Amino acid sequence: MKKVIAASVFLGILLACGVTKDSAEEKERILDDTFKSYWYQGGAELNVYDLHQARYGEYRKGQAVMVFVTEPFQSEKLVKADQSSPKNKQVLKLNYLKKFSTGVYDYSMMLSDFFPLKSGAHALKVTASSQEWCGHTFMQLENRKDFEIQLHSYFESEGEQDVKLKSLHLEDDVMNQIRVNPELLPQGDFEMLPSLFYMRLKHKEVKAYQANAELTSVSDTLQLYHLTYPREHRSLKVYFGKSFPHTIWSWEESYPESWTDDSNIMTSTATLTKQMRLPYWEHNKEKDSIYRRELGLPKL
């Protein structure tokens, strides 16, 4: 009996200290009819944001797009499934794109996060690429027994890297986790792998970083997820709807822009301007460019 009591007390201490909830998140998730009717209706949710991106000590005006869509995922090859199989897993896929210019040249960045819907604590796969006139970089994280991460970069100091990490929280899961169930967002103190976008823009080492976070109510309709990395002087604030489908209205990302001065903190922001649900892959004719105008996207 004493051992049982001691174990219960120890578990309570762990939860109170903000230890990760991986074991709880591994359990089967129950997706109710409201969730299914919204996310399994055969289309994607398109979100367009006004972006103000800090880069090289100045703010750059740009655009961000978040595309959320469910799809079957091949759990062994970790790619979108072409055929039906009992081994397939349903995922909520986020394709997150950012475009902004720096003087004469521009940046085009894209990240994909494949988040399991029915079970699993972390994304099955995350990929990110960044293209600009100096060159491009690519990162890929595969969630197998451990996290298997590849980095391909045109910088000599980064070169070609293969990194293995034990399972831990992923910042790039935050947006998908909000859409699935924000109550399961990690809170308290924990280790986390920062956003692949951030690590490439700041050329950070691929490793676990100490973080802490809290989920708070801002108003009757709005919640805030505030994530910080104290040693990196970096924070992420995501404002989203309390009610399903938990629309992401805006976010703010702050960190030192200077390579040498940690006090030179700048804040990039993104604010939702348009949202549309559309099976965009079926609208690839020239006449369908009308949807770009409706979304406020430039015609290239």
Q: Given pLDDT bands bounded at 50, 70 and 90, which one contains residue 22?
A: very low
The rounded mean pLDDT for the chain is 90
Alpha-carbon distance of 235 to 224, in angstroms, equals 13
Output the six-digit token pair for 205.
């080492």
pLDDT-above-90 percentage for the chain: 80
Which pLDDT does position 28 carry in this prediction? 66
Which pLDDT does position 87 carry in this prediction? 87
pLDDT at 16 over 60: no
pLDDT at 48 over 80: yes
pLDDT digits (tens, 9 = 90+) for 88-125: 999 999 999 999 999 999 999 999 999 999 877 899 99
pTM of the shown model: 0.89
Q: How far is CA 246 from CA 197, 224, 249, 253, 275, in A?
A: 23, 11, 9, 20, 13
CB contact at 8 A, 36 and 19: no
Q: What is the DSSP string of 66-112?
A: EEEEEEEEETTTTEE-SS--TTEEEEEEEEEEEEEEETTEEEEEEEE
pLDDT at 76 over 60: yes
pLDDT digits (tens, 9 = 90+) for 264-283: 899 999 999 999 999 999 99
The CA angle 36-127-224, to the nearest 5 degrees, is: 55
Which pLDDT does position 258 carry in this prediction? 79
Q: Given pLDDT bands bounded at 50, 70 and 90, which one contains residue 24?
A: very low
Which pLDDT does position 214 carry in this prediction? 98
